[in-house]
Amino acid sequence: MTTTLPFGISDADAAAMAGLVSRSHGLRANRNAAEAAEIRLLAEAGRLALRQARARSAKAREMALRSIAAELATAANDSDRAVRAQIDRAMTFVDDYPATFAAFEEGRILRRHLDVVRDCGTPLDPEARALFDQTAAVRCESDSPNRARAVLERLAENLLPRTLTERHQHARQSRRVQVIPLGDGMAELIATLPVTLAHAIHDRLTRQAKAVRDIRDRAKAAVPPNDGLLDVVDSGGGPTPDDPDAERELSPAEIIASDERTCDQIRADLLADMLLTGTPDTDPAVTGDGPGELGAIRAVVQVTVPVLTLLGRGEETADLAGAGPIDAATARQLAGGCPGLDRILTHPITGAVLATDRYQPTTDLRRFLRARDHRCRFPGCRMPAIRCDVDHTHDYAYGGATEACNLEHLCRGHHSLKHATPWKVRQLADGVLEWTSPVGHTYTDHPPGAVIPGATAASLTARPVTFVPDGDPPPF
């Protein structure tokens, strides 16, 4: 008997494959068991927080949960917000979907199945979830996560007591905008909106992108074939110095014709342009023909740039506060459009901020702190300083001085955590903070620009210039 298969499987290959499948089952069961144990631990931590708060206010329960999440996070060198979200998910898995969670714990379904069940069952009330859980566990054992999702979405829809109109009114409350880092100096800006608005925005951007391409095509047709971008080069690869076209500026039509962006790229550029420069029509502060308060607001970012990169003599990456590294070319472009900059003098060994070019009691002290801290100073938090509170390490009400050695940036969440839970903090030399958790563990947070003790010689590079946002006019 002939075969059209591109390869054959011998008995030995079949036996080897059977062994791989068996080992895969075993590894998945072990992995699931370990992950399930961690989920149960996190759920137990959540229940401990609820016991600590007892029957007190919702704020007491929230603070108890945040304090325990911070304890676990700092011990693991993680973000307390991430651990708090993990605790919430763990309590949902263990308490609301016991049958599905047991199937996961025993290695009969994948973690993605567990997430699908939680996603689909979120709108259900506790009684409906119990029924949904039993059916979902059985369904997940016989279907892939993607197939199971379609079935479970229909099942959940049938169990919902409210109409889609009612549920949509509730779901609208979750609309938001978030940034997801991607690496390589890129990020995703995700807007969660009603489906009609999301599709309308995408449609408008698409039609605008097509209009840009139509204009580009007409410009290309109007530019003579030999009158486009310069293509006369010398041995060095540049325009010939004595060529009459070497210094000629491109016409507007030639610039438009040179656009090689894809439709996706044009859509993204249009979105960024409108969001950064446009004025909302629904500005409640508009009283006349002016742009109003919302239209006057401009985007603010804080960037730290190595001085040689700023001067074009190096390509070392810059740092966008709260996000991460950005490329040298983007940093120089931002610096070129910046209304002003501060030269930050740092200690040559520790890197601690010593002084700024300007120092006035109120405004410049804030600039000093933003340059030193960059971000929230609770361990693991990356909230940019420009969106944080300036907090007195030793409370002002109890005699704490308003000076750099007694001030630090804390995001609103960690500011309230400091005051409403047993977490304590004291400031050491050079802006170093020492946090003490409710169980007595200590964690040290160094200013981002400082050299941590024990750092290698390779990390002792030239100190950066920090662009600190402020409303003051440029100092030049």
Whether residue 104 contacts residue 36, with contact meaning beta carbons closer than 8 Å, is answered with yes
pLDDT at 2: 57
Residue 231 lies in a domain: no
Identify the weakest region by mean pLDDT among 118-122, 199-203, 399-403, 431-435: 399-403
Residue 473: Cβ within 10 Å count: 8
| Pair 103, 203 in one domain | no
Q: Is 466 helix (H, G, I), strand (E, B) or coil?
A: strand
Using the Cα atoms of residue 131, residue 135, residue 140 and residue 144 in order, give the sign of their dihedral.
negative
pLDDT at 289 over 90: no
Percent of the chain with pLDDT strictly greater than 70: 79
Q: What's 251's DSSP letter?
A: P
Give the best-scoring range by mean pLDDT among 246-250, 277-281, 410-414: 410-414
CA angle, 308 then 314 then 318, to 5°: 75
pLDDT of residue 323: 73
> Does residue 2 belong to any structural domain of this protein?
no
State whether 98 and 43 are in the same domain.
Answer: yes
User: Residue 204 — very low, low, confident or very high, per pLDDT cuts 50/70/90?
Assistant: very high
Let me know if residue 289 belongs to a domain: no
The neighbour count for residue 330, using CB atoms within 10 Å, is: 14
- Both 112 and 189 in one domain: the answer is no
The most confident of the ranges 177-191, 212-226, 429-443 is 429-443
% of the chain with per-residue pLDDT over 90: 37
Tens of pLDDT along 299-317? 777 777 777 777 777 788 7
Mean residue pLDDT across the chain: 80
d(CA 121, CA 123): 6
What number of H helices and E strands is found in the chain?
16, 13
Give the model's pLDDT for residue 340: 61
Rounded to an integer, the average pLDDT of 184-203 is 90
User: What whole-number distance in Å separates Cα of residue 145 and Cα of residue 112?
Assistant: 6
Confidence at 114, pLDDT banded by 50, 70, 90: very high
Return the structure tokens found at 451: 């050299």
pLDDT value, residue 54: 80
- Is 245 within the bounds of a domain? no
Residue with tokens 């023909």: 289
Domain range enclosing 321 = 298-476
Range name among 23-37, 259-273, 412-426, 457-471 with the lowest pLDDT average? 457-471
> What was the pLDDT predicted at 356?
52
475 & 411 share domain:
yes
Residues 6+ apart with CB under 8 A from 370: 302, 385, 386, 409, 466, 468, 469
Q: Which residues contact 270 (CB under 8 A, 6 or more apart)?
A: 205, 208, 209, 212
Q: What does the pLDDT look like over 78-105, one tens digit per residue? A: 999 999 999 999 999 999 999 999 999 9
Q: For residue 333, what pLDDT is reported?
A: 80
Q: What is the pLDDT of residue 466?
A: 52
Whether 234 maps to a domain, the answer reads no
Residues 258, 143, single domain; the answer is no
Q: In angstroms, rounded to a whole number, what is the distance separating the alpha carbons of residues 145 and 356?
A: 56
Element (H, E) at 345: strand 344-346
Phi-psi region of 191 (alpha: psi -120 to 50; beta: other; left: phi over 0): beta
Residue 264 sits in the same domain as residue 349: no
Same domain, 39 and 126: yes
**Cα 427 from Cα 412, distance rounded (Å):** 19
Residue 238 lies in a domain: no
Residue labelled with tokens 């742009």 = 291
Query: Which tokens go with 108?
Result: 């009969």
| Number of domains into which the chain is organized | 3
Q: What is the pLDDT of residue 433?
A: 95
Residues 347 and 452 in one domain: yes
20-29, 93-102, 320-329: lowest mean pLDDT where? 320-329
Buried b (16+ CB within 10 A) or exposed e, 187-204: eeeeeeeeeeeeeeeeee
What integer is the mean pLDDT of 191-203? 91
Mean pLDDT of 387-406: 86
Question: Is residue 284 in some structural domain?
Answer: no
Instruction: Give the integer Cα–Cα distance in Å for 292 and 283.
Output: 7
Pick from 327-341, 376-390, 411-425: least confident: 327-341
What integer is the mean pLDDT of 61-69? Answer: 91
Residues near 418 by beta carbon (within 8 Å), at least 6 away in sequence: 391, 410, 424, 425
Q: Output 432 or 459, whichever has higher pLDDT.
A: 432
The strands making up 324-326's β-sheet, listed across from edge to edge, are 324-326, 318-320, 303-306, 464-467
Whether the pLDDT of residue 16 is over 80: the answer is yes
pLDDT-derived band of residue 234, with 50, 70 and 90 as boundaries?
very low
Is residue 268 located within the same domain as residue 373?
Answer: no
Higher-confidence residue of 298 and 230: namely 298
The residue type found at 242 is: D
Tell me the average pLDDT across 328-353: 66
C-alpha to C-alpha distance for 94 and 44, rounded to whole angstroms: 10
Does residue 44 lie in a domain region? yes
Evaluate if residue 475 carries a pLDDT over 50: no
Shared domain for 337 and 472, answered yes or no, is yes
Maximum distance among all alpha carbons in the chain?
A: 94
Q: Are residues 51 and 161 located together in one domain of the fold?
A: yes
Q: Any residues with CB less than 8 A from the CB of 188 and at least 6 apart, and which? A: 179, 180, 182
Of 385, 183, 179, 421, the residue nearest 302 (C-alpha): 385
pLDDT of res. 228:
44
Q: Regarding predicted confidence, which is higher, 435 or 220?
A: 435
Residues 156 and 197 in one domain: no
